[in-house]
Amino acid sequence: MFASPTGQPLNPNTDYHEWKRLLREAGLREARLHDARHTAATVLLLLDVPVRTVMSLMGWSSAEMAARYQHVTDTIRQDVARQVDVLIWQARNTATGEGTVPVSRSSLTAILRLAELGLVHADEAVMADAQEAIERIRAVLADGANDLAAGADKSGRGSAPNPTRGTK
């Protein structure tokens, strides 16, 4: 049980009034006290704090609560986009000088699924743009798969080899 500085039981409105006073003194906009939990969870996401640690700090027993409270920000999206850009488009193969790094279809498909999951908390404009880009990539992947199948049929050798099979 929590008590006031004089040892008396807290008035149920004490938290509310103290929160509003703190916001005014800090020069911040009006917000619900509960909004601070969303902010704290999102800050932990920005800091790359592991989900298990976030769950412990926030008092949650399931990762689903982290997904509900942690909001993917534009900063996070831009950081992921930069990382993917460097990985796929700006990396250089020192042997050939090529400007791209090959990515398997299954890896790219997984990346697309993760991108779609990250769109859950995006605003409508961001979701529309990202969804359009994802659909274009999927179309290119589908065309490439059709081209591979057509090429295999013509050569009589069957499907293209999977570079991840047969190696340990």
Q: Which of 10-19, 138-147, 152-161 has the lowest mean pLDDT?
A: 152-161
Domain positions in the chain are: 14-69, 74-155
Tell me how far apart the alpha carbons of residues 130 and 84 are, in angstroms, rounded to a whole number.
14
Write the burial class of residue 54 (CB in 10 Å: 0-12 exposed, 13-18 middle, 19+ buried): buried
> For residue range 48-105, what is the model confidence (pLDDT) as tens digits?
899 999 999 999 999 999 889 998 888 888 888 888 777 666 655 556 555 555 666 6
> For residue range 156-168, what is the model confidence (pLDDT) as tens digits?
444 443 333 333 3
Give the number of C-alpha atoms closer than 13 A to the C-alpha of residue 81, restricted to the C-beta side.
11
- The whole-angstrom distance between residue 135's C-alpha and the CA centroid of its chain comes to 18
Q: pTM for this structure? A: 0.46
Tell me how far apart the alpha carbons of residues 58 and 40 are, in angstroms, rounded to a whole number.
9
CA geometry: angle 95, 99, 148, nearest 5 deg: 95
Token match 């700006």: residue?
Answer: 90
